Amino acid sequence: MNLKQALAHARGVLADNNIDDASLEGELLLRHVLGINRTRLYLDLEVDLSPAHEETMRQLFERRLRGEPSAYITGHREFFGLDFHVEHNVLIPRPESELLVEKAISLARNRPISIVADIGTGCGSIAVSLALNIHEAKIYATDVSAAALEVARVNCCKHEVIDRICLLQGDMLEPLPEPVDLIVANLPYVREVELPRSGPLSFEPVLALNGGPDGLAGINSLCYQAGSKLRPGGCILLEIGQGQAKAVTDLFGQIFPSSQIEVTNDLAGIERVVSLCLT
């Protein structure tokens, strides 16, 4: 089998199993097996696949067809135009979380933001994207999971922002050594009963998804801790799940009566980010 046939086979197998973006994923997985970039693949289409590569490809597609997300198989996921290393102990960055980063960058254009905290940083995709786009800010990135912080460290080093991001282990805002101007968080917000038992989401860490009975356990506890960790005029940006906007804006309004609160929809039209700025 040459690479052209392998590519067609890879795409066909994924499409037959109703995997979205079968064409893109098929190419991605094949390139991962071969350890080559896109240009090399298209230059080498007539080259034969070695028996060892053929066997690796077979094993890897077996994993994919059992539901494992390709980001865990390849160890990579793109977020905000950057390549991030991912492992099973971190959530795979989602395109909708780019909205959090965009909102944070636009806030930083309009207000003095010199200290930022990314709470529940996971693989560090949000913290790294912020460090590369809000140049003067010092960033704290926290997570309860030591294993996740190790992955975040790899990404901070890979993107050369390790000197700008202070990684701290601990629950919510507790590890922050000082109040900050901006808190950004994509906390677990899936309702416990809705946690998947099969499919791609079931491969992701429950710790990063489980938001308790109403999905809002983490968000609640962050909001109650935030008063003492925000500097005057500070802001909070939270990613939320579908249908959670009212509960979160009500909570914000209760805890911070003099603040500006706003909800922003993602590209799918779902209310995705709630922002609060102290006035």
Binding site for ligand GLN (CB under 6 A): 94, 186-190, 209
Strand partners of residue 273: 239, 264
Report in angstroms how near the CB of residue 201 gets to ligand GLN at its nearest.
Answer: 6
Maximum pairwise Cα distance, the chain: 67
Report in angstroms how near the CB of residue 173 gets to ligand GLN at its nearest.
Answer: 17
Q: Smaller CB distance to ligand GLN: residue 1 or 217?
A: 217
Cβ contact 123:134 at 8 Å? no
What's the rounded Cα separation, in Å, for the pair 197 and 66? Answer: 13
Report in angstroms how near the CB of residue 239 gets to ligand GLN at its nearest.
Answer: 6
What's the rounded Cα separation, in Å, for the pair 216 and 247? Answer: 9
Report in angstroms how near the CB of residue 268 gets to ligand GLN at its nearest.
Answer: 11
Q: Smaller CB distance to ligand GLN: residue 186 or 249?
A: 186
| C-alpha 88: how far from chain center | 13
The full DSSP string for 190-205 is B-GGG--SSSGGGGS-
User: How crowded is residue 123: how many other Cβ atoms within 10 Å of its Cβ?
Assistant: 28
Q: Smaller CB distance to ligand GLN: residue 8 or 267?
A: 267
Q: Which ranges constitute the DSSP H helices of the chain?
A: 3-16, 22-34, 38-43, 51-65, 70-74, 98-110, 125-133, 146-158, 206-209, 217-226, 245-255
Q: Smaller CB distance to ligand GLN: residue 31 or 272?
A: 272
Report in angstroms how near the CB of residue 233 gets to ligand GLN at its nearest.
Answer: 27
Cβ contact 123:112 at 8 Å? no
What's the rounded Cα separation, in Å, for the pair 14 and 190? Answer: 28
Q: Smaller CB distance to ligand GLN: residue 12 or 243?
A: 243
Q: Smaller CB distance to ligand GLN: residue 36 or 217?
A: 217
Report in angstroms how near the CB of residue 217 gets to ligand GLN at its nearest.
Answer: 11
Report in angstroms how near the CB of residue 137 gets to ligand GLN at its nearest.
Answer: 23
Q: Smaller CB distance to ligand GLN: residue 120 or 234?
A: 120
Residue 227 one-letter amino acid: G
